[in-house]
């Protein structure tokens, strides 16, 4: 919401996929009346203060290529599809030149997740036991997402780590011990990723925050990779 407010009149249309219950779009419509808002998901939401189209976002979007948007948002959507690269490509095809893609995802590299994996072999979001009908999610780490973005001609403008709960700060002492080691690894690792970019991707907050938000801009209008 802060990001949309900061752009002011620069944007007039927004596409949220998958839109889930529609709470986000409804709030956007309340704060920014008169904007073109479209949501998509496999099931129609109860809240409908916006346009809606039903389809499976893991497949090609049944939206005309001429229908483009200034902002496309995906709130934890990348965890729901096997073909993450295809999903990002489909989003990019519907994004105006100079438009913004905003993606949120779960952060599975917190101190709490690392301890959980070390002691019992699981990340917090992914239980060891699954019953029939239990929703499953794909683990898509930040570095994999960034690789896809770079390949598709997107520029990462900002990374924001969010979602701090009181119990997470119990791990603050351990985070203070671990981050210098992580920082040394990031700075000495052979990679063509610039060192400032490495620190921006994995700041100290990444050891405690449960989620992150990626703000990306479309900078190239070229053939999109499959």
CATH of the domain at 171: 3.40.50.150
In this model, does residue 223 exceed pLDDT 60? no
Nearest CA-CA partner of 83 in 56, 55, 43, 45: 56
- Distance, CA of 87 to CA of 4 (rounded, Å): 23
Confidence of residue 221 (pLDDT cuts 50, 70, 90): low
When divided into structural domains, the chain yields a total of 1
Please tell me the predicted confidence (pLDDT) of residue 135: 67
Edge to edge, the sheet with strand 154-162 lists: 51-54, 36-41, 13-16, 69-75, 95-106, 211-218, 154-162
Mean pLDDT (whole number) for 32-46: 90
223 occurs within a structural domain: no
The CB-side HSE value for 77 (13 A sphere, CA atoms) comes to: 30
In this model, does residue 226 exceed pLDDT 50? no
The per-residue pLDDT for range 132-147, each reduced to its tens digit, is 877 667 888 999 999 9
pTM of the model: 0.88
204 occurs within a structural domain: yes
224 occurs within a structural domain: no
Coil, helix or strand at residue 75: strand
Where does residue 207 rank: exposed (0-12), middle (13-18), buried (19+ CB within 10 A)?
Answer: buried
Mean pLDDT (whole number) for 106-129: 87
Mean pLDDT (whole number) for 147-160: 92
35 occurs within a structural domain: yes
Q: Are 23 and 15 in contact (CB under 8 A)?
A: no
Q: Are 79 and 107 in contact (CB under 8 A)?
A: no
130 occurs within a structural domain: no
- Distance, CA of 188 to CA of 172 (rounded, Å): 24
In this model, does residue 10 exceed pLDDT 70? yes
Nearest CA-CA partner of 17 in 221, 50, 160, 31: 50
Select the more confidently predicted residue: 204 or 30. 204
Beta bridge partners of 162: 211
188 occurs within a structural domain: yes
88 occurs within a structural domain: yes
In this model, does residue 57 exceed pLDDT 80? yes
- Distance, CA of 202 to CA of 34 (rounded, Å): 38
Host domain of residue 165: 2-125+135-218
225 occurs within a structural domain: no
């Amino acid at each position: 919401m802060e990001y949309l407010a900061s752009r002011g009149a620069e944007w007039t249309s927004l596409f949220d996929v998958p839109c889930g219950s529609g709470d986000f779009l409804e709030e956007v419509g309340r704060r920014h009346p008169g904007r073109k808002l479209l949501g998509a998901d496999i099931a129609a939401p109860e809240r409908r203060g916006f346009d809606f189209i039903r389809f499976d976002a893991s497949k090609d979007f049944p939206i005309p290529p001429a229908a483009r948007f200034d902002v496309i948002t995906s709130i934890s959507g990348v965890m729901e599809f096997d073909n993450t690269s295809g999903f990002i490509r489909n989003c990019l095809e519907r994004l105006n030149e100079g438009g913004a893609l905003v993606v949120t995802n779960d952060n599975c590299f917190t101190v709490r997740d690392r301890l959980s994996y070390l002691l019992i072999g699981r990340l917090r979001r992914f239980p060891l036991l699954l019953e029939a009908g239990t929703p499953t999610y794909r683990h898509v780490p930040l570095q994999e997402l960034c690789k896809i973005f770079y390949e598709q001609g997107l520029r990462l403008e900002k990374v924001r780590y969010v979602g701090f709960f009181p119990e997470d700060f119990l791990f603050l002492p351990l985070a203070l011990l671990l981050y210098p080691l992580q920082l040394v690894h990031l700075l000495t690792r052979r990679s063509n990723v610039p060192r400032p970019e490495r620190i921006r991707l994995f700041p100290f907050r990444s050891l405690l925050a449960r989620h992150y938000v990626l703000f990306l801009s479309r900078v190239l209008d070229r053939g999109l990779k499959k």
